[in-house]
A and B are shown apart, each in its own frame.
Chain A
Amino acid sequence: MEPNWALAKKRAALENRARIVHAIRAFFIERDFLEVETPHRLPGNAPELHIDAVASGDGFLHTSPELCMKRLLAAGYPRLFQICRCWRKGERGARHLPEYTMLEWYRAGCDYQSLMVDCEELLARLCPEGRVGAIDLSPPWERLTVADAFSRHGSLPLDEALARDRFDEIVALEIEPRLGSTRPTFLTEYPAALAALARRKPENPSVAERFELYIDGIELANAFSELTDPAEQRQRFEKEEAERRRAGKLPYPVPEKFLAELATMPPSAGIALGVDRLVMLLTGATAIDEVVAFTPEEL
Chain B
Amino acid sequence: MYTCADLKKGLKLMIDGEPHVVAQFDFTKPGKGQALYKCKLRNMITGSLFDRTYRSGESFEPAALEDREMQFLYQDESGYVFMDNKNYEQVTLTEETLGDDHYFLKDNMDVKILLFNGRGIGITLPNFVNLRVTQADPWVKGDTAAGNNKPATVESGYNLAVPSFVETGDLIQIDTRTGEYVTRVKE
What bracket does the count of chain B residues touching chain A fall in?
20 to 34
Q: Taking the complex as formed, is B181 at the interface, i.e. its CB lies under 8 A from any CB of chain A?
A: yes
B28 pairs with A3, CB closer than 8 A: no
Given the complex, which residues of B lie within 8 Å of A1, measured CB to CB? Answer: 183
Taken together as a complex, chains A and B put the C-alpha atoms of A12 and B148 apart, in Å, by 10
B27 pairs with A96, CB closer than 8 A: yes
A194 pairs with B32, CB closer than 8 A: yes
Q: Taking the complex as formed, is B86 at the interface, i.e. its CB lies under 8 A from any CB of chain A?
A: no
Q: Which residue of B lies closest to A51 (CB)?
A: B32
Within 8 A of A (CB), among B119-176: 145-149, 161, 163
* 0 or 1 for each of A187-212: is its CB under 8 Å from B? (1 = yes): 00010001110000000000000001
Q: Which residue of A lies closest to B24 (CB)?
A: A94
Q: Taking the complex as formed, is A31 at the interface, i.e. its CB lies under 8 A from any CB of chain B?
A: no
* 0 or 1 for each of B22-40: is its CB under 8 Å from A? (1 = yes): 0001111111111110100
Q: Is the interface of A mostly helix, strand, loop or mixed?
A: mixed
A-B contact count (CB 8 A): 81
Given the complex, which residues of B lie within 8 Å of A94, measured CB to CB? Answer: 26-27
Count how many chain A residues have C-beta atoms less than 8 Å from C-beta atoms of the other chain: 35
Of A8, A90, A93, A168, the contact of B5 (CB 8 Å cutoff): A90
Q: Which residue of A lies closest to B5 (CB)?
A: A90
Task: Determine, out of A76-84, A102-110, A169-177, A228-236, the stretch whose residues face the partner at the interface.
Answer: A169-177
Q: Taking the complex as formed, is B53 at the interface, i.e. its CB lies under 8 A from any CB of chain A?
A: yes
Within 8 A of B (CB), among A1-50: 1-3, 5-6, 8-12, 48-50
Q: Interface residues, chain A, CB within 8 Å of chain B?
A: 1-3, 5-6, 8-12, 48-51, 90-96, 167-169, 171-173, 176, 190, 194-196, 212, 219, 222
14 contacts between A and B (CB under 8 A): A5-B181, A8-B146, A51-B32, A90-B5, A91-B27, A93-B28, A93-B29, A168-B29, A168-B33, A169-B53, A171-B30, A171-B33, A172-B33, A222-B32
